[in-house]
Structure 1
Amino acid sequence: MGRSTNDAQICFRGHDVSLRDVMHFSNDGDINQPFGGKVVVFGGDFRKILPVIPKGSRSEIVNVSLCASNLWSTCKVLKLTKTCAFEPRFVFELAEIKEFSEWILKVGDGVAGDPNDGEVELELSNDILIQHTRDPIASIVDAIYPSLENQLPNPEYLLRERAILAPTHEIVDLVNDYVLSQIDGTEKIYFSSDDVSKNESNVGVRDLYSTEFLNSIKCPGFQITN
């Protein structure tokens, strides 16, 4: 759903037309069936990632979503009834996790807090807040990873049981820098040789981008090779 396009419905419509074209060779009637009569599952929570419309208004974004497509009337909405992400490890956690799961769903449905038109102030419970702190980065790391240095050899503790979510790559760097500062050991700095790919399609382009500029780019999946 989060494609950078002026019409996110194009990919759904294109898939529909392609399947109709393929399936009509086995049954002429399938050309009139959505997706050629094949079962197609659209997964995910469509409330989380909306179509990307550069400088688009709220109505423009809604109008290019899957729900606004003429294919939507042929879809059947299936809802999950179990929140697998909050599976309790102990029986006494059931009530707490159920309460938190219901609150998360209310936030997603837009019914938490006062009636609103897209913006609302939410009251968070004290058990999910870190209060009275002068250094927010240090406080959240200490809260999520207590006794970090003693737990370094434990992959379950570091990689599976907990994580810190950050809104930007700059915040990720701040968290990582703080965590590294708390670990004893000799620091080693590795320098990369950054350059634009030397294939024929990039002839003349390589001179436009300096190493400093390439290193300033912060985005996921960005890779520079020699």
Structure 2
Amino acid sequence: MRLQVGCPTNDFDATKTFTEWILRIGEGNISGPNDGEAEVEFLKDVIVRSTSDHIHSIVLTIYSSFENHLDDPSYFQDKDIFVPTNEEVDAINDYMLRLMKDEGKTYINLDFFCKTESKYCFKESIYSVDVLNVFKTSGIPNHKLTLRTGVPVMLLHNIDQTKGLCNGTRLQIVRLGKHVIETHIIGGRFFNETTYKLHMKFTLFDKRILFRFLQKQFLLVVCFAMTVNKSQKQSLSTVVLYLHRPVFTHGQLYVVASRLTSKKCLKILICDDEGRLTNKTKNVVYKEVFQRL
């Protein structure tokens, strides 16, 4: 459906070929018969050239003049960088923030222990607040949230679905206050509408520590880059996929390909196990998923 929207009438055959290629990736049929893992080879015209600093190379590919567009929500509306893991997301977002002249603000979260009836509650004494601060998990802001005016961010929880404020909604920072952040929505039917984000308290549970604790923070994360899993609600016309390491679970490569509105949208930088650039990567499909469909 995305390809149909972005397909010129004179490019139908190429779009059809690309659609079939995406479906073969999703079904695990790329590169012939396989046991669920197969090698995918990309054409040279989608490969990002790089020397030693790969993050610098992908940033030049997609955000070459971003500082001139920090007051333009449409600039970030249809572009992003996809990576497999949160560690790589943090590395790219930190790199982008360091390029900006605006000092911005750093918000430190507040962690509190919750009353719990768990039989493991005695273990709470092991964990100081400083220990809680270093836990990182999906859907939770980092302990230190550094933001600058014009930066694209992503909402981490559903707040008001009727106004488009859902988990995965992308926003752009307009103004930073001590307890309130003004943003513009940069995607969907509520594009460019103004919203305000407050410091919020929410309860967290991580199976690594076996009890609940409260955190107070803005439910936002910088999103110059995002994980492949977080990209599933997006439709984008410019995507750079950075595979410093291969995808590691079912359908991740398919998710990236199916976010695109055109074959020309995709650029990719792939490293092999020894860190050298290549145009081949692994596709992972658990074929038992399709056995009873």
Q: TM-score, normalised by structure 2?
A: 0.43
User: Where does residue 110 of structure 2 map in the other structure?
Assistant: 193
Q: 1:97 to 1:89 in 2, by over 3 A?
A: closer
What is the SS of the residue equivalent to 1:189? strand
- TM-fit CA distance, 1:153: 1.4
Match of 2:168 in 1: none
**2:90 partner amino acid:** D
Counterpart-to-counterpart distance in 2, 1:136 and 1:221: 27
For the 8 Å contact 2:3–2:15, the answer to whether it is kept is no
- Answer yes or no: is the 8 Å Cα contact 2:30–2:40 preserved in 1: yes
Query: Where does residue 208 of structure 1 map in the other structure?
Result: 126
Paired with 1:84 and 1:137, the residues of 2 have a C-alpha distance of: 28
Whether 1:138 aligns to 2:56 is yes
In the other structure, the counterpart of 2:73 is 155
2:49 aligned with 1:98 = no
Question: In structure 2, do the counterparts of structure 1 residues 211 and 141 end up closer, same or farther at CA, with 3 Å as the change threshold?
Answer: farther
Structure 1 pair 213–120 and aligned structure 2 pair: CA distance change class (3 A): same
Contact 1:113 1:120 in 2 (8 A): yes
Which one has the bigger helix percentage?
A: 1
Alignment of 1:116-135 (within 5 A): 116-135=34-53
> How far 1:150 sits from its partner (Å)?
1.2
Amino acid at match of 1:196: F
For structure 2, the 5+ residue unaligned runs are: 141-203, 205-213, 217-293
Residues matched between the structures, number:
142
CA distance change for structure 1 residues 85 and 178 in 2, over 3 Å: closer, same or farther?
farther
Which protein is bigger by CA-based radius of gyration?
1
Tell me, which stretches of 5 or more residues in structure 1 are unaligned? 1-82
Identify the residue that residue 68 of structure 1 maps to in structure 2. none
Higher relative contact order (CA 8 A, sep 6+): 2
Q: Deviations over 1:54-80 (max 9, x none)?
A: xxxxxxxxxxxxxxxxxxxxxxxxxxx
Looking at structure 2, the residues matched to 108 and 147 of structure 1 have their Cα atoms a distance apart, in angstroms, of 34
Alignment partner of 1:184 out of 98, 101, 114: 101
Higher strand share: 2
Cα gap change, 1:99 to 1:217, in 2 (>3 Å): farther
Report the more deviating stretch, 201-210 or 162-171: 201-210
